[in-house]
Amino acid sequence: MSAPDLELTGPVPSPAHRPLHQELVVTLYGLYGAGGMLPVSALVAMLADLGVDGQAARSTISRLKAKGILRSRKHDGVAGYTLSPDVLDLFRADDQRIFAPERSKPGDPWSLVVFSVPEAERNRRYELKAELTSLGFGFVAAGVAIAPSTVMGQAMGRLAERGLDGYAEYFSGDYLKSGDIRALVPQWWDLGSLDRQYEDFLEDYAGLADYWERRTAGGGPLPASEHRLAFATYVPLLTLWRKFPYRDPNLPLEYLPEGWKAPRAKQAFLTLHRILCDPAATYAGELLDARN
């Protein structure tokens, strides 16, 4: 997307990559809810700046309320919602993996989760596999999941919270068979799909990172007139990026295909975060002040 397009239409992902409305709401609460309430009018106004019309915004809020993700609350006579504490805690726990993920090194031990779920509880088996996948695990065989050792603590905690640890045993170990482990990694993880997702991200945001770097080349802050644009760029950016540190197991680069796009995508994200985070927060604060 070119700079003139940005100024005319606002920098949003292509329709194929755009975050779901519900995902945007969770991001807004995680960023600007401060653990408290967002007035309905402020939430609807923020979503409008993200390209979500009023009717769609209210439908999304209703669905999230029905699921227990949003909870009704009034403060000084103003109606609003708070984010479920569990969801808010998960959002805040993302910070380490989003901004400073730990990449494993060749020779580091592997984490193994060996699990067995009775056929009568197949839904729990699906849930367990989904949780492990969301934490970056691959699968060596049926009932055997593998990941770098850096994620084992979080995996054990997540499965315990979900009541799934009774089906699993946890191990740490080395790969002892001779041969090139790089040839095995694509069998355990769907690296092709993940690389295409990074490519989609770069398609939307690499040009934006260059654009905003040029806009701030002098080192000064963004003018207030661009805070709304910063907000409309930053919220979808973070919403999309939050998924990658979990999908990506952060394997050693030596184990990954040539031309792996994750480092370029991460650089684009960090560039945009550095430039846009504060002005986006300033704009969101102005919307909240106007409705409190």
With bands split at pLDDT 50, 70 and 90, how would you rate the model's confidence at 4?
A: very low
pLDDT at 202: 93
pLDDT tens for each residue of 139-160: 999 999 999 988 898 899 989 9
With bands split at pLDDT 50, 70 and 90, how would you rate the model's confidence at 69?
A: confident
Q: Is 78 helix (H, G, I), strand (E, B) or coil?
A: strand
CA 100 to chain centre: 13
Distance, in Å, from the CA atom of 190 to the CA atom of 162, rounded to the nearest integer, reads: 25
Q: Which has the higher per-residue pLDDT, 81 or 168?
A: 168
The average pLDDT across 68-89 equals 75
Residue carrying the six token digits 């995996």: 155
Residue 29's nearest CA partner among 241, 284, 269, 237 is 284
The average pLDDT across 159-163 equals 92
With bands split at pLDDT 50, 70 and 90, how would you rate the model's confidence at 40?
A: confident
pLDDT at 243: 86
The average pLDDT across 30-52 equals 85
| pLDDT tops 50 at residue 2 | no
| Mean of all residue pLDDT scores within the chain | 86
Residue 185's nearest CA partner among 147, 221, 158, 154 is 147
Check: CB of residue 210 under 8 Å from CB of residue 21. Answer: no
| pLDDT tops 80 at residue 85 | no
The architecture of the domain spanning 1-103+189-292 is Orthogonal Bundle (1.10)
Q: For the ranges 76-80, 117-121, 122-126, which has the lowest average pLDDT?
A: 76-80
Distance, in Å, from the CA atom of 153 to the CA atom of 172, rounded to the nearest integer, reads: 11
| pLDDT tops 80 at residue 93 | no
Looking at the DSSP assignment, which residues form a beta bridge with residue 112?
146, 171
Phi, psi of 140 (to 5 degrees): -75, -40
Computed from CA positions of residues 264, 265, 270, 272, in that sequence, does the dihedral angle turn out positive or negative? positive
DSSP secondary structure string, 156-193? Answer: HHHHHHTT-GGGEEEEEE---S-S-HHHHHHHHS-HHH
Q: For the ranges 36-40, 89-93, 102-106, which has the lowest average pLDDT?
A: 89-93
pLDDT at 262: 92
The number of beta carbons lying within 10 Å of the beta carbon of residue 279 is 22
Check: CB of residue 159 under 8 Å from CB of residue 131. Answer: yes
With bands split at pLDDT 50, 70 and 90, how would you rate the model's confidence at 33?
A: confident
pLDDT at 10: 43
